[in-house]
């Protein structure tokens, strides 16, 4: 869930009945919420993690200035809504305080 390449698939683009609600912007592979919540540190010989992006991560972080290019359309469609859903909503009291 901490990955900077994780995005959410908008409801209108999801396949009906699919549990895959997230997308990797590095590989454009769809993932389920359960899949993205698993951490490498939780892996053991009985619960092996099979995230394909881990095969690429070391190469991605060695890019010059650690910059990974994604299209503006992909960012606006997938990443921006993910970032927005992670934000807290602040409700201000609008009543008279006198």
> 95 in a domain, yes or no?
no
> 30 in a domain, yes or no?
yes
> 50 in a domain, yes or no?
yes
DSSP assignment of 1-51 equals ---TTEEE--GGGSPTT--EEEEETTT--EEEHHHHH--GGG-BTTB----
Q: Which residue has the tokens 């540190």?
A: 41
CB of 35 within 8 A of CB of 51?
Answer: yes
Domain range holding 28?
Answer: 6-85
Counted domains in the chain? 1
Per-residue model confidence (pLDDT) at position 44: 64
- The pair phi, psi for residue 21, each rounded to 5°, is -115, -5
> 96 in a domain, yes or no?
no
Q: Which residues face 23 on adjacent strands?
A: 7, 30
> 1 in a domain, yes or no?
no
Per-residue model confidence (pLDDT) at position 97: 60
The string of pLDDT tens digits covering residues 9-58 is 999 999 888 889 999 998 888 888 887 877 666 666 666 666 677 777 77
> 22 in a domain, yes or no?
yes
Lowest mean pLDDT among 58-62, 75-79, 93-97: 93-97
pTM of the predicted protein model: 0.71
Per-residue model confidence (pLDDT) at position 94: 77
> 61 in a domain, yes or no?
yes
Question: To which H or E segment does residue 81 belong?
Answer: helix 80-85
> 41 in a domain, yes or no?
yes
């Amino acid at each position: 869930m901490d990955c900077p390449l994780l995005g959410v698939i908008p409801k209108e683009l999801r396949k009906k009945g699919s549990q895959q609600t997230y997308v990797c912007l590095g590989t454009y592979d769809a993932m389920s919420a359960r899949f993205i919540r698993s951490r490498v540190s939780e892996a053991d010989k009985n619960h092996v993690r099979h995230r394909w992006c881990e095969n690429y991560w070391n190469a991605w972080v060695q890019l010059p200035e650690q910059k990974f290019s994604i299209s503006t359309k992909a960012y606006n469609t997938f990443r921006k809504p993910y970032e927005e859903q992670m934000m807290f909503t602040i409700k201000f009291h609008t009543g008279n305080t006198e």
